[in-house]
Chains A and B, each alone.
Chain A
Amino acid sequence: NAGVTQTPKFRILKIGQSMTLQCTQDMNHNYMYWYRQDPGMGLKLIYYSVGAGITDKGEVPNGYNVSRSTTEDFPLRLELAAPSQTSVYFCASKDSSLRGYTFGSGTRLTVV
């Protein structure tokens, strides 16, 4: 029972580089989310998806892109990394009930 798996756990990027943060869940959840958390702050929603083929912007989508081609996977793409994107990124999923989100363990990204 893996839950939500995020890779990589850590990454250092140079300004202007691109990368994809991977997120996979094995619970057949329809809803998936990407949040970022800056030091000492709460989580801010970047993008979310209510099912395969459907994505929508959250509170802070600029500089990011997502896709949802399967129920299991929800990758987050950074095209031109900037220092402001240094953060910890969390992926989460949930089913259609009121049961809570299941979060991954996070990806710590540093842009230098």
Chain B
Amino acid sequence: DAKTTQPNSMESNEEEPVHLPCNHSTISGTDYIHWYRQLPSQGPEYVIHGLTSNVNNRMASLAIAEDRKSSTLILHRATLRDAAVYYCILSNSGGSNYKLTFGKGTLLTVNP
């Protein structure tokens, strides 16, 4: 599976936007970009996924670079409940799509 690189940690202030970066320079044409987050003492939670176009849902937005070698998860107004570890994961649309590989992710701290 292609690898991703994320900062170990980031900080933000409450009610401000947060941009979480992810580099994936070896992404293949059929790899989807997935984001999950893990709140303290909980299992991971699906956030969003995309292939080429930017995506929006009720939780976040996903901005994908034109060359697809990087992406950014955008939380439009961070709240204290958004403090979590955020994982950026690549998966092939084919057979290996059903085995996601989680790295260490980015620990997001939200200051009141």
Residues of A within 8 A of B (CB): 31, 33, 35, 40-45, 48, 50, 58-59, 90, 92, 94, 98-106
Residues of B within 8 A of A (CB): 32, 34, 36, 41-47, 49, 87, 93, 97-105
Contact count A vs B, C-beta below 8 Å: 50
Residues of B within 8 A of A33 (CB): 98-99
B58 CB to nearest A CB, Å: 14
Residues of B within 8 A of A102 (CB): 46
A67 CB to nearest B CB, Å: 18
B31 CB to nearest A CB, Å: 12
Residues of A within 8 A of B43 (CB): 90, 92, 103-106
Contact of B98 among A35, A41, A48 (CB under 8 A): A48
Contact of B101 among A40, A41, A45 (CB under 8 A): A45
Whether B101 contacts A90 by the Cβ 8 Å rule is no
By beta carbon, the residue of chain B nearest A102 is: B46
